[in-house]
Amino acid sequence: MTKTPFRKIDGKEIRWTDATGVVHIVEGADVHSDVRLLWTLCLRDVPANTVWLLEPGDAHEVCAICQQRASLPPEASNAADSIPRPSSAAMGAAPPEPAAVPQSGGRPLSSKENGV
Ligand SMILES: [Zn+2]
């Protein structure tokens, strides 16, 4: 797979506010011509239609893990894709719009490792 992670759309950094009001830094990748995956730097899945773009000069306090990983290049944090993601089970809430995650088609994430 040759997806290239990005952290900006139209030159603006991507942010996501979770249910508790905490702002996260979002990284994304176009894994398919019409499939864009988005996740936070702390490895939470992000529904594509819930992110927002950080205006230049604007600043928001972000989650500590995202803040820490923001100093790493996208290539480095992308390696985290290979570790089991605890968020989906721990959150207890399924994303309202799972259409952006091609579970049946491609296999973007190594969810199999959970059962090994
Ligand atoms: Zn975060």
Split at pLDDT 50, 70, 90, the class of 81 is low
Helices (H), the chain: 64-69, 74-78, 87-91
CA of 26 to the centre of ligand 1 (A): 8
Q: Who wins on pLDDT, 81 or 24? A: 24
Beta bridge partners of 3: none
CA of 116 to the centre of ligand 1 (A): 27
3-state secondary structure of 6: strand
CA of 89 to the centre of ligand 1 (A): 16
Dihedral angle of Cα 27, 61, 71, 7, to the nearest 10 degrees = 20
Please compute the mean of the pLDDT values over residues 31-54 and round it to a whole number: 94
d(CA 101, CA 75): 21
Note the pLDDT of residue 95: 52
Question: Is the pLDDT assigned to residue 84 strictly greater than 70?
Answer: no
CA of 46 to the centre of ligand 1 (A): 11
**Contact in structure between 91 and 44 (CB atoms under 8 Å):** yes
Based on C-alpha coordinates, what's the Rg of the chain? 14
CA of 44 to the centre of ligand 1 (A): 7
CA of 110 to the centre of ligand 1 (A): 20
CA of 56 to the centre of ligand 1 (A): 20
Of 32-46, 51-65, 71-85, minimum mean pLDDT range:
71-85
Please compute the mean of the pLDDT values over residues 18-32 and round it to a whole number: 95
CA of 5 to the centre of ligand 1 (A): 16
E strand or H helix at 28, and its extent? Answer: strand 23-32
Please state the pTM of the whole predicted model: 0.60
Split at pLDDT 50, 70, 90, the class of 71 is confident
